[in-house]
Structure 1
Amino acid sequence: MEAFSAQPAPPAGVTLEDNVGHVVEVVRRVAEYGPVVLVGTSGGGATVTGVGNAVPDLLDRIVCASAWCCMELPSMADYLRTLGIEDFASFLVNWRSADPRFLRAAKEALMPDATDEQFRVALNLLEPADSAQVAHADARGRADTWGRIPHTYIRFSRGGTAPPALQDRMIAEADALTPENPFQVHTVDTGHLGVLLRPGEAARILDTLV
């Protein structure tokens, strides 16, 4: 475990620009077939915001589902600091851990409304690494690009990784940036990984947006 935790994360060199560029290419390919509704969850909010800045004319709507949508503060790391998380590095996480203290803390942060069995299934879907470069990159939406696209925020009302107060702050900041085009807001009573636990509720909301 010491060797595992000390080794660099494989995606440590990935940048937000890499992520945005990849999704932009996908959007360009699919836009010819009909409306494009781009959905981001958690840290994916930074990527979909960047895509909105890059190709606003190709997107019909952006949806953030318990996602970071940076507006007044530049980066996800800056918003995480408001939660008392001072450092975000490219680290490896052992989601297969048997440590009961880690599992209790992770469940409370990510999926407090799940059973232990449901949570263990969800952990098997998680990647063990992320990129600090993405977390520290300037991911702010711009009024003249992102701000032109209709946008929806699906709040997940159970606390954890993205507390409701933080989600509400980002919604309010975005509405202040583009008061003529505010977020359409929906709320689902679930935790941060709620799209895995309550996919039907999220799908019904998305179905109304197309």
Structure 2
Amino acid sequence: MTPPHAAQSTDTRTDTHLLLPLPLPDTVFVLVHGAWHGSWQWAATQRALAGLGAASVAVDLPGHGFGAPLPSGYLLPGRPGLPTERSQLADLTMDDCADAVLDTLRRVRRYGRVVLVAHSAGGGPASLAAERAPHLVDRLVYVSAFVPAARPRFSDYLSAPENSTARGQDLPLGDPGALGAVRINPLSPDPAYVEELWQTHYHDTPADRFDRWRSALSPDLPLSVPTTPLTLTAARWGRVPRTFLRCADDRALPIATQNLMITEADRAQPHEPFTVHTLPGSHTPFAARPEELAEALVR
């Protein structure tokens, strides 16, 4: 399938020179997942990081991971009530999610340098955690992730013209406002729905491996994650060095949207601009190319 037009970015930014990866015995990577995923998504990347001499710990945000509460009919034939049953995650807040990140940051700080890595919607909780406790973070890394430095809500970027080529708009079920969550159906028996989920998030992951990945996804993203406005300050979040890892053929968050977030963040917080690197492939490099992602993180 031809990549979306946004992947053919006119951005003339030159990627920062990448050094060969070296062991990082005094550095811990704290990994924050995106929507519908969990700490498990990082397992292959963590193995690759360990092979490069880097320690890491992955966070389960509230309402995600294998302990996430599910809609009552989710595992029943036909998934009764899935489009209408209010989510058990509806009352979770962005502060709850940031607290989970902060708890891990406090635990690992004793071991040395801390690099906080966020993917996709995880950029909100990670950013808020860094704003609240910048002394716990030595570098922020956004992997095709939301950066709220200029526009306060993830949904502000999802509705931007630069994001018009994004796929997956038909994946959410029901009314997110009534559900209290952005709900998808990873176990859908509809081949067209499954194809769209694959092409949106995992198109460069082999189909058989994607089937295993989608079976582990959680159906609900708390609505607070994409809709809560965040305020980042120059004195706190803005003082933390930051890197953006762009995904060149991202169909869920096109590279034009990624570039928009980078540009607006640098304009809003010019004293600590992004270092930018680019990875090939989809929105989910941890599934398609975890070794390359690990190498990019330690460079």
- 31-40 or 171-180, larger mean C-alpha shift: 171-180
Q: 1:25 and 2:116 equivalent?
A: no
Correspondent of 1:34 among 92, 109, 112: 112
Is residue 5–residue 91 contact of structure 1 (8 Å, CA) maintained in 2?
Answer: no
- 1:9-63 CA-partner distances (Å, limit 9, x unpaired): 2212111011111211221121112111111101000111101100111110111
Match of 1:162 in 2: 253
- In the TM superposition, 1:180-199 aligns within 5 A as 180-199=271-290
Using the TM superposition, give the Cα deviation of residue 163 of structure 1 relative to its aligned residue in structure 2, in angstroms: 0.6
Q: Which runs of 4+ in 1 moved over 3 A?
A: none
- 1:100-141 CA-partner distances (Å, limit 9, x unpaired): 111121112101222211221221231111111121111343
Q: Aligned AA for 1:11?
A: L
Is residue 118–residue 145 contact of structure 2 (8 Å, CA) maintained in 1?
Answer: yes
Structure 1 SS opposite 2:108: helix
Match of 1:205 in 2: 296
Q: 1:15 and 2:93 equivalent?
A: yes
Structure-2 separation of matches of 1:159 and 1:58: 30
Percent identity between the two aligned chains:
31
Match of 2:223 in 1: 132
Q: 1:50 and 2:128 equivalent?
A: yes
Q: Which runs of 5+ in 2 are unaligned?
A: 1-78, 170-174
- 1:156-200 CA-partner distances (Å, limit 9, x unpaired): 111311110000110111111232311111111111112221111
Correspondent of 2:264 among 164, 167, 173: 173
Correspondent of 1:80 among 150, 154, 158: 158
Is residue 64–residue 154 contact of structure 1 (8 Å, CA) maintained in 2?
Answer: yes
Is residue 160–residue 191 contact of structure 1 (8 Å, CA) maintained in 2?
Answer: yes
Q: Aligned AA for 1:92?
A: R
Work out the number of aligned pairs and report it: 207
Using structure 1 for the length normalisation, give the TM-score. Answer: 0.92
Structure-2 separation of matches of 1:145 and 1:102: 42
Structure-2 separation of matches of 1:51 and 1:3: 35
Structure-2 separation of matches of 1:73 and 1:178: 12
- 130-139 or 45-54, larger mean C-alpha shift: 130-139
Choose between structure 1 and 2: higher helix proportion.
Answer: 1
Is residue 65–residue 156 contact of structure 1 (8 Å, CA) maintained in 2?
Answer: yes
Using the TM superposition, give the Cα deviation of residue 153 of structure 1 relative to its aligned residue in structure 2, in angstroms: 0.7
Structure 1 SS opposite 2:199: helix
Structure showing greater Rg: 2
Q: 1:152 and 2:230 equivalent?
A: no
- 101-110 or 161-170, larger mean C-alpha shift: 101-110
Q: Aligned AA for 2:107?
A: R
Is residue 9–residue 130 contact of structure 1 (8 Å, CA) maintained in 2?
Answer: no
Structure 2 SS opposite 1:5: coil
Using structure 2 for the length normalisation, give the TM-score. Answer: 0.66
